[in-house]
Chain A
Amino acid sequence: MHELVEFAVEKALELGASYAEARFEEKNGTSLAMKNGNPEGLEVISDRGIGVRILVDGGMGFASTNVLTKESVAEAVKKAVKLAKAASKVRNEPIRFSNEDFHEVYYEVKMRKDFRDVSVEEKLELLKKVEEDVLEAGAQTPMRFLRYSDQIWHKIFMNSEGALVESVIPRVSMMYNLVVSENGQMEQAPFVQRAFSGGLELIEKDEPWKWAVKDVLALQRLIREGRKPPEGKVDVVISPEVAGIAVHESVGHPYEADRIFGREAAQAGESFVKPEMLGERIGSEVVTVIEDPTIPNSWGFYLYDDEGVKARPRYLIKDGIITEFLTNREYAAKLGQRSNASARAINYNREPIVRMANTYLAPGDYSFDELIEDIKLGIYMVSFNEWNIDDRRYQQRYIGREAYLIENGEIKHPVRRPILEITTKALWSSVDAVGKEVEYFPGTCGKGEPGQGVPVWMGGAPARLRGIPLRRP
């Protein structure tokens, strides 16, 4: 396949491209679902193709094909060149890429238990285990939807500036939607996912069935014992899971440089952050947010991005100050910087765009007990359901699924649907203490047109927010 990728790059240069890259991607795997105890069938994923992206006269063209012949690839290259030329005529200034160091490199994530060697029956057993443990937990769960999926992602990336990056990354995940019903009330843990880059041993070690049982019992207790959350100004302790969604939505997204410069304006939106805000304070001194694709076995793992640039941890906020944006080569050039390797594409048929990988709130030095010990009245939000944020990433809302009252330094009864509806600056300025223990939670980050759901981890340490006017339903 290397030959075809190289052929695409050479063909593009021959046809007048000033820059060319080609990316072969192959995904192979299986997916199994179980609905209310019934196996829903097997899906075999087998997908491959080549995408080419080129610059001609400062215009950008992209074309892909899944017919892997020289003729078809040449045709795609021709189309990309033609599209780029035509696009260059509707531009105010030519697109330029930052200068980068490129490598010829191969890397892979090893599996201790290779899921390709595991039978479908054994994978189905994992779903059955969730099903059985949930049913035995002692709560009424009338709707149960479970999914297992594994995939090997094999990529070969080459560009006209000397990059040749080949990678093999296995990804494995389980997901559940569980509805708990009691006394005519229904509570729900929807789209809860456990996911890793690596082998099946990671799922087995993580024991998703235990997470599912914990969720079901928490929802049952919420129905039985849940009370209204307190009103007025209170303190809020957010768990690593809630901290994760908050850093993803209100730090990661608005720091994406393509969004800052308006390229995503019609779809995923813009940003309240402007280029001149680098160095400005956005949160309290205890807030540091890191974006790191290189965390071993993470769901958002990669070592080189889809422009061939070597990845590293990125400090988006350091001690409350905006320190770095997420960039690809196009927007690094606009900022006069080098790319920090945030270009990702979900498949061969998508262009690489600026994306997150694993975003987390860096740990502080508080134990959990220390976080809550001096709270007179507050809540602890463990998990969330509904969440959203405006397209400039400033006004957001997170509703607690599992949440508890904190009274005089102690965790008390569950509270129903506490609503944290807050601006980004208020949120990060309210944090006065961060815990020691970091945890990560998987998600699928949506962006791009056509859509590109990419695997990410979100997480961090728990954090304490002071004086929040909490809303209740």
Chain B
Amino acid sequence: MFDVNEFILKKAKELGFGDVVVLGYEMDRRQVRFANNEITVAKNWHERKVELFVELDKRIAGTSITELSEENIERTLKALLSTLKNMAPKEDYYGIAEGPFEYRDIPETFDKAIVELDEPNEYVERAINAALEERAKRVAGVLYTDHNRIYLTTSNGVEAFDEGTGIEISVRAFIGDLESGHGTNSVRILKKFDPESAGRKAGEIAKMAQNPEQGPEGKFDVIFDPLAFANLLSYMSFMTSAYAAEAGFSFLAGKLGQKVANEDVTIKDVGNMPNAYGTRKFDDEGVPTRETTIIENGTFKTFLLNTSLAKKYGTETTANAGLAMPHAWNILLEPGDYTKEDLFSEVKKGIYITNVWYTRFQNYVTGDFSTIPRDGIFLVENGELKPIRNIRVSDNFQRILENISALGKDIHHIHWWEVRTPVFTPYVVVKDVGITRATK
């Protein structure tokens, strides 16, 4: 596809555009959805497109082109040019990265075996069977296989290619209407794929969750399963973008250099992590992805930036372009030193939350939110787990980070429908979490 990229770049320069980024994609994605222990639909997507970003005297525009004929490309560029000429400039635009760059292969991001995989249904059956073996009655979920190729060409000397694969599954198991559990597994190479582990975890939690009683309300020490805490961190990842802070969507706005979390808390974005679902060799400007520490020992160190926002704030890009909006690749909460057993015995009286969904904000700039536990929820008392239901976590993001009191030593890779930005997190204990329930 580089021939298409080069043609677009050449024509764009001829027309007088300044910065130009051409990002070509070829995507092959397969999906198998299942519910009630059977496949409800199987899907295949094949897409080929170019994401185009152009700049003309600080006026910027973007579009994607799917019809890649020379006539359509020229027509699109001319239309952008005539529109941009009459538009007001974005005064705080400061350009794109100066290439070229050198790229390293990131291990465990491409596997030919996934490209050549003929038929993934056996993995679905394995996950369903693992859950059924734990006495689940109904199993639902989704499996994906991915094969992506990215071709990047910019007006600042970048020509870069990345090819990646992935396979992942998300499984929810039910015993009754109120007894359910959830497990996921996401990897980039086939031999590391373990669909049974997702099915087994879903089934185990559903089994433990039988006959739940109405849960309490008040302040409780909460053990968050990685699946549950990943949800909160995934929402937080958006708030670490400098764009979100400027637009009024982040509790981190104005807090650079301040303490925003317990001193044991270090949160990173790692764009070049092996075997991680969000990993890429380079960002949308061609800057090689890397590890960026966002919160270090409780102190907020940096927003995620692209080149233009970095220049605006007198610093360096963190290789998180998104040309309009920088974004995280893979969020990682550094583990602690608790075994899972120690962590549960540490909490004398509290609540274990295995999953949450529907996290929504009362106020983004203060971080006030609530989220709803789903699947197994348990009262933890002297090492015993008693299933409960119908509670809600109602608290504040920064207070949650400040009140983290223990971190497990193993980290888990979470990526599913509710966790869009991939997250690596251990089990996490948070003190004094606000728990509410319906009043009527």
Contacts and interface: CB of A to CB of B under 8 A. Distances in A.
Interface in A122-158: 124, 142-145
Interface stretch (B119-127, B155-163, B260-268, B343-351): B119-127
A46 B439 contact: no
Contacts of A121: 86-88
Interface in A59-103: 59-68, 72, 75-76, 79-80, 83-84, 86-87, 89-92
A143 B172 contact: no
Interface string B323-362: 0100000000000000000000000000000000111111
Interface string B171-201: 1101001000010000000000000000000
B285 to A, nearest CB: 15
A277 to B, nearest CB: 13
A262 B37 CA distance: 10
User: Of residues A35, A177, A351, A388, which shows the largest number of chain B Cβ atoms within 10 Å of its Cβ?
Assistant: A388
Interface stretch (A194-202, A280-288, A300-308, A465-473): A465-473
A294 interface: no
Nearest to B325: A40
A335 interface: no
B374 A471 contact: no
Contacts, number: 263
Contact of A469 (B182, B249, B439): B439
A265 B248 contact: no
B172 A266 contact: yes
A467 to B, nearest CB: 8
A386 B369 contact: yes
Contacts of B382: none
Nearest to A128: B88
A42 B59 CA distance: 8
Nearest to A353: B41
B46 A65 contact: yes
B33 interface: yes
The size bracket of the interface on A is: 35 or more
Interface stretch (B137-145, B286-294, B398-406): B137-145
B368 interface: yes
B47 A349 contact: yes
A256 interface: no
Contacts of A87: 32, 39, 41-42, 121
B275 interface: no
Contacts of A449: 31, 33, 142, 417
B66 A38 contact: no
Contacts of A143: 246-248, 253, 365
B413 to A, nearest CB: 18
A471 B66 CA distance: 51
Contacts of A272: 177
Interface stretch (A13-21, A420-428, A434-442, A453-461): A420-428
Nearest to A65: B46
Interface in A371-410: 385-392, 394-397, 399
Given A49-B66, A61-B41, A65-B46, A262 B365 contact: no
User: Of residues A124, A177, A397, A430, which shows the largest number of chain B Cβ atoms within 10 Å of its Cβ?
Assistant: A397
Given A42-B61, A91-B39, A423-B438, A145 B392 contact: no
Given A44-B79, A120-B86, A387-B360, A188 B248 contact: yes
A60 B371 contact: no
21 contacts: A44-B79, A48-B66, A59-B42, A61-B42, A62-B42, A64-B46, A67-B66, A83-B30, A87-B39, A90-B39, A120-B83, A121-B88, A143-B253, A188-B364, A265-B172, A351-B43, A385-B362, A390-B372, A391-B374, A392-B177, A469-B440
